[in-house]
Every structure is written in structure tokens, then in C-alpha cells.
Structure 1
């Protein structure tokens, strides 16, 4: 079935005869003006497809073209444009250039303007149909490619996490038992010989090492230990964490201020939430030591509607906008010796608690914001 009823044959034939008489000039002019990227693997086919479109228009004027004919050519061109990986805008420009030149040539024929108006309308309709099918197919193919890439990336992340989970299990067996023994004997020494220097520092360092090992374990979903939730008073928990971090705070000459509502409580897995606060504060300390004094970290905790909001702000370097979401991806790190799993684990824990962890950064401060249900 044709796209639209044809014109009287002798008018259409007169235009076709005129086009064929001037075909060489028309094709040459179009090829001289088109955009053709030298990196285009199908650059020769661009010219070939232009001629095919020209032939399709001639057959349209004879009313011998179906929509399937237009669609097939459009799909062929769309596939080649995707393979060439060239800006689709170049393709649209070249098509419309061909349309404009073709209409200019048609207007020079001996056919009356009244009859030419209908012929030009037919030409425009065909070009519109062709562009629609080509761009639609191009977008469809591109979207499919993007989905396949996303699936590949997600699967790669899962594979990495699975491998890391296996590594973590081995890591635990190799290090947790001797570490537990050392922590235990250190406590005995503090009990039996309370005057020995540095035992408290050793205990703090061992606790930090234990924390790092636990952090590694949390990269595997299977390693979240489902202990019962408990009621946690955030003020008490954050005081405990700041006491634990005291040596790092003093050593880095960081000023920490707090504004915490002492009445706020949450129901949570305490060890997991503690790990989140520790990691965010560790990152904040690492950030502020990159700048001159004063090095400032501010910790705020308040209620907002039916949520608890905890904000950890620091005056370290700005995190670029394009990185502010990427930092939560597994294995992404800006630290020379970083693993890229800390913030990924933190977000995973907060989401497990039906909360949200976000980051905002500008030239004045960087804020990590945690939302949790009351």
C-alpha cells in the first residue's frame, strides 16, 4: 500500500525526467556539502544511502513506495549510524540538506507551481517518515546498548563483591583469631599492670584494626550479622565514638564541635550504625588534614518531621559535583591507599535501616547527611 495517493502521472513523470536530467549536478552538490566524519567506518555508505533516498523519492512520485520500503531503508541507516558511533545530528543535517537541495531542483522544473505544491508536500512527507523511523530505531538501539552496559557493570560489581567476600572470609580466619588473643592479653596486662605505659594506645589501635577488618566483612551481604535491633541513644553513641577517635583528632589537630539533641533515640543494629559514623568521621579527618588550620568538623543531630537527621560537616577540599555520587560506588577511591569500600558499605548499612546517606560539597564545606527513621 502506498503512503499517499499519487498525482497525475504526467506531472510526476515530468519532475522525475527533470531530476534525472540534472541528477549528476544534484548528487554532486549534496556530496560536497554533507558533513562526513573521516573516522566514520561507513562514510562511503553515507553517499550510497543518499542515492538510495533520492531513488526512493523518485519512486514516491510514481506512487510505487510503501511505508515498509521507507522503514527498511531507515533501519539500515540507523544501524550503520550506531556502528559508526557518529553524532546523530550529522545524519539529520545531511538528510535535511538533501531535502532542501531536492526541493530547490524540483522548483526549477517546468511543472506549474500549483502542481509542484502537491509534489513538494509528498517529498516532505517522505523525508519526515524516513527521519522518524531512522531516529526512532537509532534511539532504540542506543538504549539497548546502554541497558546491556548497565547490566554488565552491575554484574561486574557483583562479581567483584563476591570475590571480595571470599577474600574476606579467608582474611577473617587468618587475622581475627590472633587479633582477638592480642586484644584479650592487652586487657589482662592493663588489669595486672595498670601502670605500664602505652597500653591504652595499643588498645585503641587494636580496636581500629578490628574496625577495619569488620568493614571489609560488610562488603558481602552474607556478612551482615542479623543481631536483634536495640534502642540506641545517639548522643551516647556519638560520645563513645568521639572518645574512640580522640587520638586521631588530637594527632591531626582537628577542632570538633557538636550540636546533638540528647533525647533522640533510634532502633538499630548498634555496631553497624557505629561503623557508619566512624567511617564518615575518619573520612572527614582525612579531608581536613589536607588544608591549613583551622581544621573544623561539626556534628549535628536533630529531628525533622518523622526522621532523625545526622550531619557531619568539614571544611576540607570541595568534592567535585560529578564525584559526589560516585564516591558511594564500590572500589571508587581518591585516597592513595584507599580500598573504595568504606562509603559503599556505609550507604548499604543506612539503606538496610530504611534510611538515606547523601553528600553535598561546595568550596566552603562538605556535608555527609544521614536520614534515619525515628
Structure 2
């Protein structure tokens, strides 16, 4: 009997041999699905028994790269693949030894089948090693890129914090110099007001730090909500920017509306107002000719509004839709965290901040829902 007739016997008893392989495989790895194993086994059995087709030209052998992807998708361990090959050899030998028809299979044919299984296994393992090396290389590259991105974000956060606390620190130093001078000439009447300003600025720095920490999801000490005067919030911030208005020759137009009681975090809202006003002053510093800053407050239905407008350059169209997203900015020395924190603070205080910008005017609108 030639090899072709012996192969017919092996093909005839295919289901018995596959059943043997599945039983042994499930015994070792009970988590696998029998239907999936049966489908895979049918494909591999065809490869084993198609000896008339050279192994390297067989469709199953050529499909190894695709099988790799499937195995990785299923998260199959490489040890299972190795064990599977050994179980195929055991199943073939079991049939030859235990089945009367199998005992007629010559050893030369048995060796060809075993060699074919071993060749498939070696090539599969070689390809698996290549693919995993590529994946590891890709993962290392991704980790490196994430690490570099994280360092960049940390750098931006640090730069932004320095930028945001520079103004209140400058104000504190200025008032301390004035305070020292007033003490030396025994002019005590204004000392309390200077101390109040210093305290306010230190609280502002505390809130700036709390704002930055909120982006990292760290627990921070929350400022309590108090009922405060809308006029006092605006006046306090205007007092701090007055030197810049004078130095940069900027006309201030203040349309003060009704004094409204707001239940908000006072220092945090002052931080928002200060940030937007300083951004407006920064924008006006780029403008030639007349510079004007307008602040208006008014009550509209169930909202109290503070509107800050300037006649500086238009906000670039490419960043308008993402202006409140962290790290989006068009400032040379900006970091793009200020407005993102402002948005977060306003949301927390039952309000919102929006803007509109044209070549003639840019306006930011702070809205507070009235309870």
C-alpha cells in the first residue's frame, strides 16, 4: 500500500484523531471553547494530511501571519501553541498504535507527518518572536513618547503656575514697600487697607495653586461659598490692575450696574476676573493707537453678567473652538491653563464663561445663575 492509500486512512479517521487532540487540549486548558478548537483543528488537520502540497506552499502555512494576529487578539500564550503541536503528534501516534487500521501506517509516512507539524511549529514560533519584538519596540516607543509628553505637561504646568502667581506676588512686594514707608512716617491710617490687599493676594495665590492641583485630581482645600457683593469683587480686581492701565495708557470704561449679592467662592471668582482682565491688557499691549478696556455688569432675567471687552487683536480663528482646553494659547509666553481653570471655576460656581471675538473687539462674558 503506497503513501496515498495510507493517507486516505488517516483522512478517514480524521474525526477520531481530532477528538483525541481536543480532549487532551481541553484537559490542559479548560478555558478554551470546543467549537473554536474544532474549527482550528479542521484547518490544521488538512495541513498535516495534504502531503502532496509542499508545506511552505500550503495555504495554512502561508496564513501564519494572520494566525499570529488572531492568537494575539485572543491573548493565547505561546506555551499553548507549543503544547498543541506536541498533542497533535501524540494524537497521530495514538491512532497508529491503538487503531487496527492505524497499525498499517508505515513509519516513513509517520515521520513525514511529524516533520510537517514540527516545521509549522518552528515557523510559527519564529514569526511569533518577530511580531512580539516589534510590539515591544512599539510599546517602548509609546512609553518614551508618553514620558516625554508628561514631562512637557509638567513643564507647562510649572511655567503656568509661575506666570499666574507672578502678578499677585509683585503686588504683595509693592504693598510691603509702601507699608514699610508708611510705618516709617507713622502714617497708620492706610496700613489696614494695605494688609487687607496683601492678605487677598496671598489667598489668590492659594487658589491659583488649588486650581492647578485640580487638573491632577489631587484633593485640595476648597474655598467656601459666601454671599458677596458683585461690586466689591470688581472693585478689588480693578484696584490691582490700575498700575497697568496707567503705564500702558489704556482707557478704562466701567459701566457699573446694580450691586448684586452672589453666592460664590470670592477669591476664586476674583481669580477668574483677574485672569481675563490681565489677558485683555496683554492683548492691548500688541495694539497701536488708542487702547480701551470696558467692564460692564448688569442683571439679565435670571443671570448676573460681567462683560469684559477690549479693542485689541482678534483671537485667531484656529484656536477659538478650543480656547478653554488646557494648553491652548496663542501667547508667546502663555501656557493655556488660565482660561481652562477659569472655565472650571465658573462651572463650580453655578456659572459659565464664554467669549466673542472680531477684528474690532473681543468680549468675555461671565454669567452667574441667580438662585
Q: TM-score, normalised by structure 1?
A: 0.47
Q: Which structure has the larger Rg over C-alpha atoms?
A: 2
Q: TM-score, normalised by structure 2?
A: 0.48
